[in-house]
């Protein structure tokens, strides 16, 4: 199996995949790329003069954590966007309403903003919190125009931050992951829309993940043992729904920074470059599996020369890939892809060579 690129869009981030379109960011502009016609700008977000200037260039945009980080569609025509330290609702016709501030930190992590089928939206706090002096909270909104309210909180010292909050379409429940130390790396489940949480497992880097992918039988993730984890190696993990066992199924070259699943059930996981001693090389790698058991590396790009404090080298996989067969990701701080949206397909090696 190989990843064949069909198009790239420099200076752009893939934020959400939906049937027939990709929603993404270009600086402070929100765009969509429909499959059947050309790109269309949805809206441009206003900002202060310094933020506008720094957002115009990829290097400063990434270094200062600017631009559009996350997007959720709300109803048929509206969407909720996350910029640095603020939530902005895009109304029908392009009217903008800043509905809330990010309470702690710059933004939620890439899989820590979650829309449930019934309508409520949740987000988990992601802040530096090196000294563990801050509590870490989960928030909920039943109406995005009215902002968020706190529904759950870890006391200071219990976890560093929340990595993801995701809806499980097979279990009709929520899953939440935390990090980063062994004792802080945990997986939780909620059956009451986030009001209470049951610990599914934790206590080692095997439970540290930036997100999970769901199948009928199991949850999958790549471990996120980063440069702070010493020589701890990274793996693709499988958590069985029935017997609740966790097993390692594939060694990875570095910490996993992206995960998704396609409409046919194909799983995809990407690794990143943080510069840790536990990394096999200086490249970000894309892995894929049709069944969750046999995994193949399908693509790789090496890290560019930018230091990690500006941006780790990653392939960031947006939410919503399960709505189609196309592989979509954003390459960040990679050679030839400082900030580039990639689109392509997974093809059998023999099919690729025959072309």
List, in order of start, the domains of the chain with CATH numbers.
Answer: 2-354 (2.130.10.10)
* pLDDT at residue 354 tops 60: no
Question: 295: Cβ–Cβ under 8 A, 6 or more apart, which residues?
Answer: 236, 249, 250, 269, 287, 288, 289
pLDDT value of residue 217: 97
Mean pLDDT across the stretch 206-223? Answer: 98
Three-state DSSP at 255 gives coil
Determine contact, residues 213/222, Cβ cutoff 8 Å. no
Q: Which long-range contacts (CB under 8 A, 24 or more apart) does 17-23 make?
A: 17/318, 17/319, 17/320, 17/321, 17/323, 17/324, 17/326, 17/328, 18/73, 18/320, 18/323, 19/323, 19/324, 22/318, 22/328, 22/341, 22/343, 23/71, 23/73, 23/79
* pLDDT at residue 143 tops 70: yes
Instruction: Count Cα atoms within 13 angstroms, Cβ side, for 224.
Output: 24
Alpha-carbon distance values, 68 to 26, 235, 253 (Å)? 8, 30, 29
Residue 310, class by beta-carbon neighbours within 10 Å (0-12 exposed, 13-18 middle, 19+ buried)?
A: middle
Q: How crowded is residue 193: how many other Cβ atoms within 10 Å of its Cβ?
A: 16
* pLDDT at residue 150 tops 60: yes
pLDDT value of residue 215: 97
* pLDDT at residue 35 tops 90: no
Q: Express each pLDDT in 51-93 by its tens digit.
A: 999 999 999 999 999 999 999 999 878 999 999 999 999 998 8
Residues paired with 213 in a beta bridge: 220
* pLDDT at residue 353 tops 50: no
Three-state DSSP at 129 gives coil
Q: Is the dihedral of CA 91, 97, 99, 102 positive or negative?
A: positive
* pLDDT at residue 37 tops 80: no
For residue 309, give both structure tokens. 């404090």
DSSP structural state of residue 318: P
Chain Cα centroid distance, residue 49: 29
Determine contact, residues 126/163, Cβ cutoff 8 Å. yes
Q: How far apart are alpha carbons 179 and 256 in whole angstroms?
A: 13
Q: Express each pLDDT in 305-351 by its tens digit.
A: 999 999 999 999 999 999 999 999 999 999 999 999 999 999 987 65
Determine contact, residues 259/268, Cβ cutoff 8 Å. yes
pLDDT value of residue 118: 79
* pLDDT at residue 36 tops 80: no
* pLDDT at residue 352 tops 60: no
Average pLDDT score over the chain: 96
Over the range 126-155, which residues count as b (16 or more CB within 10 Å of their CB) and which as e?
bbebeebebbbbbbbbeebeeebeebbebe
Q: How far apart are alpha carbons 188 and 113 in whole angstroms?
A: 16
Q: What's the pLDDT band for 355 if we cut at 50, 70, 90? A: very low
Q: Express each pLDDT in 228-256 by its tens digit.
A: 999 999 999 999 999 999 999 999 999 99
Q: Express each pLDDT in 216-231 by its tens digit.
A: 999 999 999 999 999 9
Length of the chain: 355
Type and span of the H or E element at 319: none
* pLDDT at residue 13 tops 90: yes
Q: Express each pLDDT in 276-310 by its tens digit.
A: 999 999 999 999 999 999 999 999 999 999 999 99
């Amino acid at each position: 199996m190989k990843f064949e690129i069909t198009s790239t869009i420099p200076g752009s981030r893939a934020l959400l995949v939906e049937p027939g379109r990709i929603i993404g960011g270009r600086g402070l502009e929100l765009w969509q790329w429909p499959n059947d016609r050309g790109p269309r700008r949805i809206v441009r977000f206003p900002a202060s003069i310094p933020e506008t200037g720094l957002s115009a260039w990829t290097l400063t945009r990434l270094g200062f954590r600017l631009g559009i980080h996350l997007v959720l569609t709300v109803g048929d025509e509206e969407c909720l966007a996350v910029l640095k330290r603020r939530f902005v609702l895009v109304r029908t016709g392009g009217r903008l309403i800043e509905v809330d501030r990010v309470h702690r930190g710059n933004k939620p992590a890439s899989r820590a903003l979650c829309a449930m089928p019934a309508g409520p939206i949740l987000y988990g706090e992601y802040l530096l919190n090196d000294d563990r002096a801050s509590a870490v909270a989960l928030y909920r909104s039943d109406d995005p125009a009215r902002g968020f309210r706190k529904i759950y909180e870890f006391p200071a010292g219990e976890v560093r931050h929340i990595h993801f909050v995701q809806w499980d379409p097979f279990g009709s429940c929520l899953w939440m992951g935390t990090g980063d130390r062994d004792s802080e790396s945990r997986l939780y489940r909620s059956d009451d829309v986030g009001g209470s949480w049951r610990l599914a497992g934790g206590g080692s880097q095997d439970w540290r993940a930036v997100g999970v992918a769901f199948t009928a039988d199991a949850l999958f993730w790549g471990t996120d043992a980063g440069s702070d984890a010493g020589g701890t190696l990274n793996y693709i993990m499988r958590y069985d729904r029935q017997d609740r066992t966790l097993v390692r199924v594939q060694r990875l070259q570095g910490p996993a920074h992206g995960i998704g699943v396609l409409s046919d059930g194909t799983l995809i996981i990407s690794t990143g470059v943080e510069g840790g001693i536990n990394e096999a090389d200086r490249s970000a790698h894309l892995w894929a599996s049709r069944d969750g058991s046999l995994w193949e590396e399908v693509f790789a790009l090496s890290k560019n020369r930018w230091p990690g404090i500006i941006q780790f080298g990653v392939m960031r996989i947006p939410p919503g890939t399960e709505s189609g067969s196309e592989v979509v990701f954003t390459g960040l701080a990679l050679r030839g892809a400082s900030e580039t949206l990639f689109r392509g397909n997974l093809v059998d090696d023999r099919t690729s060579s025959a072309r």
